[in-house]
Each structure stands twice: as structure tokens, then as C-alpha cells.
């Protein structure tokens, strides 16, 4: 029967990565996606930028919007201190099911709270509930990697829900490809944010891409 791409990614992890070794999980996915089939993981080039931002912020609370197969979830979780709270939201139940297994293979499942959002507009359902459901006041770091159409509305929603504070850092993937021009326009023109971008490439390709870094200053 048909085996989906996400299942082939999971099989590549189970075949080539060592249980309990997050770096080997990352390497297995990157090898599969650069040698066999492209997939929308953040990839190693942008992943190194993500790692440097996570290490610099050293966050106690992290929100990831868009889990997909758990590649960036594993990258981020493996750099967090044990007391950190890390929530990753995934709209698609099939992606969430694979991500759980990838995260479990990496041996991180005790650190990462996956909350699959099973309904359309799911992040907008979950963001208002995060404070009460997870006992989180504000996020030190948010990684936006779900759907470009929701970057701006979800950022505004996080502001309205008081989930962001002075010093919170937002890092957004794909502001060029596929592109989130309304989001870039909003954050560039807002006095609330200090923003800059890291030049990079679309995962596993030579196409131009940026990671957009936002520091909240007021
Ligand atoms: O939809 C996406 N969500 C999160 N990340 C993405 C990502 O890194 C890349 C792409 C993408 C880029 C080019 C293309 F031809 C087709 C899909 C989509 C997403
Ligand atoms: Mg992406």
C-alpha cells in the first residue's frame, strides 16, 4: 500500500538514527531529504541559525508553531535546559503522529509537550488557552514555522493574550519562500519590534531564503 512521505521520513529515522541520540535523528532526516526526497523540515543550514538563536536566548519557555515531523522540535528540545517548558502546536494529526515517534526515538518525549491541534485554525484555538492549560505566563522564544497565512494573525493573538513580553524573541521561517509579506511589513513598521533577518537558503536547495528574527523591545 502507499507509504506517505512522512512515513518514509520516520522509517529513515528508525533505520539510520540511534535511539536516544537527537543529533543522529537530525542527521538521518537531513540525509534522507537531501539524498532521497525533499521535505519541508527547516534543514541543517537554517537549523544551525535556529540552534544559535536558541542557545543565545537560552529560553525557559518555547512555543513552536508547526511541528511537521518533529525535526526542529528535536533540534530545539535538545538544546533546552531540563526545567524548560516547550510546547509545539501541529494542526495536522498525521504529522503529529509521526512527530511523536520521531521525538520519542530521539529520547526527548519527556521534555516536549506535543499538543496536536486537530481543527482548522487550530493555533488560533490553542494560543488563548496556553496560559491556563500549561501554566505558562510568557514565551521567551517562539518559532513560527506553520502556515504563512497565520504568521501575522497568530503574532497579534499572542500579543493580545499577553504571551509576549519585553525581551521575547520570535524567529520566523519562510518569510521569502513561500513568503509572509504582511507579517514582515507589520513587524518592520511596528515600534514594538527590533527585527533583522538571517540570510539562508530554502532547505535542501540553493533558493534564497531568510529566517526573520524579532526582538520585542516594549
Ligand atoms: O508550509 C510550510 N510550513 C512550514 N515550513 C515550510 C517550508 O519550510 C517550506 C515550504 C515550501 C517551500 C517551497 C515550496 F516549493 C513548497 C513548500 C512550505 C512550508
Ligand atoms: Mg519552514
Neighbours of ion ligand 2 (CB under 5 A): 145, 173-174
Q: What is the pLDDT of residue 116?
A: 36
With a 6 A CB cut-off, is 66 part of the ligand 1 pocket?
Answer: yes
Q: What is the pLDDT of residue 88?
A: 93
Q: What is the pLDDT of residue 82?
A: 81
ipTM of model over 0.95: yes
CA 160 to chain centre: 21
Q: What is the pLDDT of residue 112?
A: 66
**Closest C-alpha residue for ligand 1 atom 14:** 178
Give the C-alpha separation, 18 to 24, whole Å.
6
Q: What angle do CA 142, 148, 153 make, to 5 degrees?
A: 65
Question: Which residue in 64, 81, 60 sits closest to 73, CA to CA?
Answer: 64
Task: Cell 519585553: give the residue.
Answer: 166
Q: What is the pLDDT of residue 115?
A: 52
Strand partners, 89: 65, 115
Length of the chain (residues)? 218
Q: What is the pLDDT of residue 111?
A: 64
Mutate to test the pocket of ligand 1, among 29, 40, 150 (most ligand atoms within 8 A of CB): 40
| pLDDT beneath 50, residues of the chain | 116-121
Amino acid at each position: 500500500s502507499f507509504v506517505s512521505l512522512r512515513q518514509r521520513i520516520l522509517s529513515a529515522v528508525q533505520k539510520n538514527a540511534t535511539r536516544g541520540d537527537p543529533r543522529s535523528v537530525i542527521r538521518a532526516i537531513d540525509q534522507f531529504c537531501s539524498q532521497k526526497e525533499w521535505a519541508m523540515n527547516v534543514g541543517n543550514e537554517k537549523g544551525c541559525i535556529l540552534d544559535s538563536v536558541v542557545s543565545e536566548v537560552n529560553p525557559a519557555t518555547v512555543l513552536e508553531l508547526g511541528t511537521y515531523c518533529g525535526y526542529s522540535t528535536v533540534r530545539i528540545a535538545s538544546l533546552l535546559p531540563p526545567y524548560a517548558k516547550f510546547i509545539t502546536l501541529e494542526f495536522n494529526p498525521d504529522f503529529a503522529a509521526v512527530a511523536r515517534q520521531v521525538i520519542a526515538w530521539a529520547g526527548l518525549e519527556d521534555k516536549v509537550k506535543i499538543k496536536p491541534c486537530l481543527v482548522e485554525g487550530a493555533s488560533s484555538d490553542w494560543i488563548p488557552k496556553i496560559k491556563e492549560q500549561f501554566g505558562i505566563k510568557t514565551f521567551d522564544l517562539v518559532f513560527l514555522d506553520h502556515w504563512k497565512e497565520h504568521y501575522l494573525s497568530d503574532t497579534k493573538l499572542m500579543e493580545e493574550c499577553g504571551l509576549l513580553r519585553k525581551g521575547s524573541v520570535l524567529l520566523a521561517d519562510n518569510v521569502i519562500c513561500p513568503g509572509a509579506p504582511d507579517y514582515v511589513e507589520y513587524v518592520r513598521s511596528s515600534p514594538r519590534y527590533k527585527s533583522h533577518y538571517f540570510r539562508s537558503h530554502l532547505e535542501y536547495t540553493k533558493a534564497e531564503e531568510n529566517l526573520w528574527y524579532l526582538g520585542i523591545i516594549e
